[in-house]
A and B are shown apart, each in its own frame.
Chain A
Amino acid sequence: MTRRIRIILGIVILAISIALLIWGLAPARRETRVQPIPPSELQLPTPESFQFNPYSVL
């Protein structure tokens, strides 16, 4: 009886520990955003381009 309790307790501790290890060592999910930039955005600044709206390029 004592042996069975000990085994169950050991398995519970092991399961919790493995869960902690998985959470602590798992690589973070990564998000990738790709934004095409037309050649017109890579030109020398003109007076029109001084007014920059950051929301327009998102």
Chain B
Amino acid sequence: MSQKEYIDPETRMKIRKLTDLKPTAAKEYQDAMLGRVEYFANKGDSNFNNTIENIIVKGLSSLLGLKVKIDEMLGDDRKEKVHDAIAKLALFGL
């Protein structure tokens, strides 16, 4: 844990001076998120059990991974131009 904990002599208070925000419970954090998904999925009538939505979400997730790599290759200037062009395309004809 990158935090310094000390007792302030004047106020007698425990003070934690944060130097970063690393959690002590990274696994619990992930479990909380996935546990909530499981909670809804177990209820039966849930979008988490919708095959089509699951395929779309997984597909988009893979595309996102690819996009992030392309963004890195493009560099900031060209990335911004590509993003602007995609935004214009998304708004075209509306």
Q: Do A and B form a real pair?
A: no
Chain A positions near chain B (C-beta within 8 angstroms): none
